Amino acid sequence: MDYRYGCVKGLVFAAAVACGVCASAAKKKAPPVPSGVPELMKTSGGRTVATVDEWEKIRRPEILKCFEENEFGIRPDSVADGRDVSFTVVSEKEVLGGRAVCKLVKAVYAGPYGKHGWQFSFVAPKGARNVPVFLLMDVGRGDGLSATDDFSQERWPAGDIVARGFATVYVFKEALAPDDKSARCVKGIFSAAESPGSRNGKSWATISAWAWGNSRIIDWLGKQPEADASRIAVVGHSRGGKTALWTGATDPRVALVCSVQSGCAGAKLNHIALPRSEHIEAITRNFPHWFCGDYRAKYAGKEFSMPFDQHWLAALIAPRLLVISSATEDVWAGPRGEWWTARLASPAWELYGRKGLVAESFPRADSPQQDGSVAYHVRTGRHSLVRYDWARYMDFAEKHGWKGMPPRD
């Protein structure tokens, strides 16, 4: 045997072994926490939060107020609760080959400046009693009814949801408030709730209005025998994902939040350098109507010096269930920043003796991390909501004891 060849081979082998060792060590080593991330578990007065009581009485209210005043805006008293909303079932029909019933419901808000109505669809397995509900606020057709015509969409696979014994709601977000920057928060629900002259830099904006709409549907669900009011999941993609997070933060009746590629101003951490992801200057320039005016005025271009960050928003959902999910090609939403939010929010769950996100490093594609009360997955593919995502949300709910209606023979 050629001596030199033996040597080279030995070296190559040794290098390969060393690399393998390095790779597996690197795999095991948790990545360093992005620097400068504002502390979650310290009150504004500098006190460390160590108990549920301190969290619920001091820190959680502080954080909620921070997001109201600086990102989503403060709702006017005229929409403080659901008192002024009435509901009518407009139609009821069997769908999915008789396996489910679809009700089309009209909600009307009667506010100090007028009325505003919108519709949503509720689909439950036929004969269902007390089953968990997955509520999706999403894009759709202008009249908001297109979803009732098609139960096998990737975005809203009502047939799959019913097949697992769960009920589901679809609502078209623009039926509540237009997604239009030129409308400047004066149309839709805004026109009935407040006078345009009363708005200021801290006034509620479109995401807050959409989240309010989700809460009104939850009011209605609470009175339906088909629905288990203690098991309501709110799902939303992208701008809908930001809305789902804010719904869960403001409404304790939401038992599971599924934030799908919510990105900047949603689940993506700001204190992380992801140069090709969306940032506050861009989002508030392109979509100023989603946020209160102060968000842009105070934080555009200042991500790294912000006194708060999005893991605080996620922590408002503790101790309830949360899934944050991303897609590999959705660089704009910043998957790693979304993962970090799940990770850094987790101490809020630990206060309640639960585990948040258990995993210590960013996962491979299509390998969901679902061991604690906070789950994360990054799906192969683009910016969208698809069946794969829905299946993971339902797996996670089932892991936590959510049971659908058993299949009928």
- Which residues of this protein are in contact with ligand GTR, per CB under 6 A? 238-239, 263-264, 278, 283
CB of 82 to ligand GTR, least distance (A): 26
CB of 88 to ligand GTR, least distance (A): 30
Residue 23: how many other CB atoms lie within 10 Å: 10
Single-letter amino acid code for the residue at 233:
A
* 110's tokens: 């009667």
Closest residue to ligand GTR, judged by C-beta, is: 238
CB of 283 to ligand GTR, least distance (A): 5
CB-nearer residue toward ligand GTR: 101 or 205: 205
Q: Distance between CA atoms of 206 and 212, rounded to whole angstroms?
A: 10
CB-nearer residue toward ligand GTR: 337 or 372: 337
Give SS3 for 259: strand
Angle 239-250/206-221 helices, nearest 10 degrees?
60
CB of 19 to ligand GTR, least distance (A): 39
CB of 326 to ligand GTR, least distance (A): 12
Bridge partners (DSSP) of residue 371 are none
Residues in Cβ contact with 24 at an 8 Å cutoff, skipping those fewer than 6 apart: none
CB-nearer residue toward ligand GTR: 68 or 330: 330
**In sequence order, what E strands does 61-185 have?**
85-95, 100-111, 114-125, 131-138, 167-172
Angle 239-250/60-67 helices, nearest 10 degrees?
140
CB-nearer residue toward ligand GTR: 235 or 264: 264
CB of 278 to ligand GTR, least distance (A): 5
CB of 179 to ligand GTR, least distance (A): 9
Torsion angle defined by CA atoms of residues 140, 105, 209 and 287, in that order, rounded to the nearest 10 degrees: 10
Peptide bond into 157 cis (omega under 30): no
Strand pairing category for 256-260 and 321-327: parallel
CB-nearer residue toward ligand GTR: 239 or 289: 239
CB-nearer residue toward ligand GTR: 137 or 283: 283
CB-nearer residue toward ligand GTR: 174 or 278: 278
